[in-house]
Amino acid sequence: MLSNLRAFLRSGNGHARDAGTPLKPADELIEAGGANAFLSQSMQQVEKTLAKERGDRTVPTNRANEAMLHDIAHGGVPGEVAPLLFPVGLVTGDGTARLGRQGYVLQTEDGGVPVRYLADPLSVTLDATVTRWLDLLLRRSHATADLGVGFAGAVVPEKLTLLADLYPDPIVVPPPLVAALEGKMGEQIGLAGACDSLLPAFSADPAMKDIYRRIDPGLSPYGAWRLFQTLLARIGMSIGVNLNFADRRLVRPEAGDHFFDLPMFEELFQTDSTMVLRAAAGITAQPDPHGYDGWRLWRNEMAPFDKIIQIYGDPLIGIPEQGQCAPAWWFAAFFREVQISHLQRYDHGYTTDTRPAASIFLHSEEGLEGPPLS
């Protein structure tokens, strides 16, 4: 493991280093200070100590470790895992994430708070973006109402927004654009109630820290279920069951690879509800609808609800094949037909032709700066 950590501290040099070459910590890590600099400087002393004790006995040990890591990297899962403690504030080599409190990995930009959290709430640009979104969503709401189709949606709070208290430095949430947009939506007939902010309900959830995965930036199975429940309520539906999420799975998230050059794992807790799993077993992908760009279909003859649901937005929707972490999986498990598009735009012609029970949009906080045209 120490050899892997040394490779990480070389920061960006992917070439192997000869064992006899003294370790030189990356200058940018030393200059940056904080946890990374501490680790860089500390490893110099570790290297000296190891050099004195290194002998033939290290060869079989290293080979055994490398074999284990190779097996894991190619799809194997360790029988047991053990936690390790690292300093809060540790930044990935590429600056895309930072280690927060309680072992949560939180997304960053160049190792710092994403710029959307620092936007000027009084800027003309922000106000114009909010106006464009309101016009867009009101047009969608009116268009679906004319067809007798339900309309709902949500801006999904990012992991960093929901778990801001776990970030190493103070941060104000939600981002100004999100706060302004959701505030205005709450004042509009056709949007109020159908597109309310999720943050208050998610923050009040006793299992708030379980809504997102600990290392990966995506929703957990429980988080996807909570989002699904909320959207159902917004289209006037509900499922009168309480699910238990206790089926433990060990998975390897890609986000973990950005810290060290060895696999990191996290636990996923899925539902093992017989009712849900029986329904999900009927999910079947269908050919893409001819003539409608970007739409994909799934049908489920075992679904509890004999209705069609249309969902569009950004990739956080996922697809049913991704399993319980994807909101799409839950809709496909419970509805006879699910229509999904990741193109973000509303397609009135497609809605007119298929007449779903409801048309739902989902959008993460990131990317709101560029509203689609329709």
Would strands 305-313 and 358-364 be described as parallel, antiparallel, or unpaired? parallel
- Taking residue 343's Cβ as centre, other Cβ atoms within 10 Å add up to 14
Q: What is the pLDDT along the chain (374 residues), one digit of tens a residue?
A: 434 444 443 434 434 444 444 444 445 444 444 445 445 554 454 455 555 555 556 778 888 888 887 787 777 788 788 888 999 999 988 899 999 999 999 999 999 999 999 999 999 999 999 999 999 999 999 999 999 999 999 999 999 999 999 999 999 999 999 999 999 999 999 899 999 999 999 999 999 999 999 999 999 999 999 999 999 999 999 998 889 999 999 998 888 778 877 778 999 999 999 999 999 999 999 999 999 999 999 999 999 999 999 999 999 999 999 999 999 999 999 999 999 999 989 999 999 999 999 999 999 999 899 998 88
Residues in the chain: 374
Burial pattern 241-278, b for ≥16 Cβ within 10 A else e, equals eebebeeeeeebbebbebbbbbbbebebbbbebeebee
**Rounded-to-integer distance, Cα 4 and Cα 47, Å:** 12
> By C-alpha distance, which of 232, 329, 220, 222 is closest to 283?
329
What are the Cα distances from residue 350, in Å, to 119, 283, 291, 296, 306? 36, 22, 9, 12, 19
CA 251 to chain centre: 15
Per-residue pLDDT, 36: 53
Ramachandran angles phi, psi of 370, nearest 5°: -120, 80
Q: Is 60 exposed, middle or buried (0-12, 13-18, 19+ CB in 10 A)?
A: exposed
Q: Are 317 and 325 in contact (CB under 8 A)?
A: no
3-class SS letters over 211-279: CECCCCCCECHHHHHHHHHHHHHHCCCCCCCCCCEEEEEEECCHHHHHCCCCCCCEEEEEECCHHHHHH
| pTM confidence score | 0.84
**Per-residue pLDDT at 331:** 98
How many Å apart are CA 24 and CA 44, to the nearest integer? 8
Q: What is the Cβ-side half-sphere exposure of residue 225, based on CA atoms within 13 angstroms?
A: 22
DSSP state of 342: S
Q: At 2, which helix (H) or strand (E)? A: helix 2-9
Please, which residues bridge with residue 215 across strands? none
Angle at alpha carbon of residue 28, lines to 27 and 32, rounded to 5°? 120
